[in-house]
Amino acid sequence: MWKIALCFITCCRLVLTVRINIINNAVFDPNDVSYRLNILSGTQSLDSCICQCNTSLNCSIINYYGLNQTCILFSAQLSQGSLRVVPTSQIITLVIFGNTNSTNMSCIPSTNYVLSYTTSPLSYTQQIYNFTAQYSGFATLEFGFKAKNPAFTWHLDDVSIIDTSALNIEMLVNGNFENGTLIGWQILCSNNNCGGTGSSIVNTPCHTGSFCYEGTCAGNYDYLRQSFSITIGHIYTLSFWVYTDGHSDQAAYVNIS
């Protein structure tokens, strides 16, 4: 799943502060081979690979292959390639350098959201929201779900963010949850807020395919998050399918920050 971190890395006897996105079990595939800066063998740890990128001119993304200790450096941005989910047995880590949002967050629900829901829709309905990026870097998509109890929950499937200014490139990883895991996503605050009833991937009822997401945090919110790359001035379209079981104590919102 996405793991956003402010990392302190020791390189060349200096302590460097590097803000990065770490995505386990994902690979970056560039659109142009010229974006590949170097392939380093014998790199014994992910930290070493990160240090190599940090000290290399123009490096912004790395693929680290843990099994064969190979570090691949790229000069591209996320919009100049695509992300590909790989099996967990391959032990591959993707690292993206740049300004990101910290995972340190309050478990209090946001009051600044772009969409919100209570007792509807009562069946899977597509939701669409368009926005223009005000800066270049990373943004975070956040779903906040509050259920009533296991019988009154939220259901989410087929989440997508398309960069309409760049040939409709898909910006999210695993937006349809079809590999049956949360690779690309984080669930936050379940342990704090949900009393053992936190949200999860389920296999019914789904809009399409075999897997979807169910928001089951009883009486409080937990949060589903994914960060993605944005370019200033580009127009993005968020779409997803959602429905609620309709209890008045349920609530949900969507935020992009």
- Give a three-class secondary structure readout of the chain: CEEEEEEEEEECCEEEEEEEEEEECEEEEECCHHHEEEEEECCCCHHHHHHHHHCCCCCCEEEEECCCCEEEEECCCHHHEEEEECCHHHCEEEEEECCCCCCCCCCCCCCCCCEEECCCCCCCEEEEEEEECCCCEEEEEEEEEEECECCECEEEEEEEEEECCCCCEECCCCCCCCCCCCCCCEEECHHHHCCCCCCEEECCCCCCCCCEEEECCECCEEEEEEEEEECCCCEEEEEEEEEECCCCCCEEEEEEC
Q: Which range, 39-53, 69-83, 189-203, 205-219, has the best average confidence (pLDDT)?
A: 205-219
pTM for the model stands at 0.66
Share of the chain above pLDDT 90, in %: 49
The pLDDT confidence band at residue 11, using thresholds 50, 70 and 90, is low
In this predicted model, what pLDDT tens digit does every residue of 115-148 receive, in sequence order? 999 999 999 999 999 999 998 877 889 999 999 9
Higher pLDDT, 20 or 160: 160
Q: What is the pLDDT of residue 159?
A: 97
